[in-house]
Structure 1
Amino acid sequence: MCEEPVEERPLPPPFMWACVECAWFLLRLAQKWDDPEGCFWEQLQTARHIAASHPAEVPHQHLDGCELCPGYARRDDGDVALVWAQHRARDLFMPPSLARLM
């Protein structure tokens, strides 16, 4: 996954454990976490599912110096809202140092 040490993953919120799809994505992510090829696809799938199926649960814009949120906020083209929601949703299940890479 990464060569550098990464802070612990956050405990996903209750809504993710109550959703069969979220729980399945979390399981796949956990299984692939230490895979030498990484777990990028699993991260994307999980974030995409949350943004599409649980939009009310997606955190608000990062106000703590996130380098990506201001750029997303300035854009108004079609897919940017979904991509930005996926970016913010990653905070629910990824350490911040990894969640905010995309």
Structure 2
Amino acid sequence: MTLVPPPFMWGCTSCLLLYAGVLREARVGDGAVRAQLTLAAHLVDDHPEDIPPPHGAGCRVCPGYASAPDPARVARPWAEHRVREHFLPERTARRW
């Protein structure tokens, strides 16, 4: 199943190209994780207003970030974790 990205991503050429790379790597390459990380970084850098709030129940990653002793140190990786829900199925996005 392919997740349809939210509308804001359709209006951004970089989002579309990076998302196409995620789909391509998922089918034929071994760079799927790298492609996902690149798209997540773009979303955090260029679309900060679209970063979802922390996940609630069912996310095994967010509680660790929420309890980090230095919130500034984990802010970016936590945001990159949360934006993955824009282009990955929830179960996959919350895995890492």
Give the TM-score of the pair, scaled to structure 1.
0.84
Pair 1:99 & 2:70 matched: no
Further displaced range: 73-82 or 24-33 = 73-82
Alignment of 1:16-95 (within 5 A): 16-75=9-68, 76-95=70-89
Aligned-pair distance for 1:96?
1.7
Letter of the 1:57 counterpart: D
Number of positions where the alignment pairs a residue of Structure 1 with one of Structure 2: 95
> Matched residues in 2 for 1:25 and 1:89: separation?
14
Determine the structure 1 residue equivalent to 2:6: 13
Aligned-pair distance for 1:32?
1.2
Identity %: 38
> Matched residues in 1 for 2:2 and 2:9: separation?
14
**Contiguous gaps of at least 5 residues in structure 1:** 1-7
Aligned-pair distance for 1:97?
2.1
Greater RCO (Cα-Cα under 8 Å, separation 6 or more): 1
Aligned-pair distance for 1:35?
2.2
Contact 2:65/2:71, CA 8 A, preserved across alignment: no
Greater helix share, 1 or 2? Answer: 2
**Contiguous gaps of at least 5 residues in structure 2:** none
Give the TM-score of the pair, scaled to structure 2.
0.88
